[in-house]
Amino acid sequence: MATTAPTEPSIRTFAFVVDGEVVGTLTIPAEAPNSERLWAGLSSDPKVIESTSTPGVQYGWTWDGTSFNQGV
């Protein structure tokens, strides 16, 4: 009897938790740009930092603990 390998979900939902309380959720479908990168990042206990005051922050930039720095 043949078995099939488990398939990756086509959509994933992440809960944002602060002090044990869910404060929001984010659903990312597989069709979204960079979905696999986002899924991996959000599955790794990320730090979420507001970047409103630094327009243009995107993939490749870094955070030094106090400010965002443009990537190479």
**0.75 exceeded by pTM:** no
- CB 48 within 8 Å of CB 42: no
User: Is the confidence at residue 6, as pLDDT, over 70?
Assistant: no
Give dist(CA 25, CA 61) in Å, integer.
24
User: Is the confidence at residue 27, as pLDDT, over 70?
Assistant: yes
Residue 9's pLDDT band, with cuts at 50, 70 and 90, is confident
**Tens-place pLDDT, residues 28-54:** 999 999 999 999 999 998 999 999 999
Domain boundaries, the chain: 11-69
Q: What percent of the chain has pLDDT over 90?
A: 69
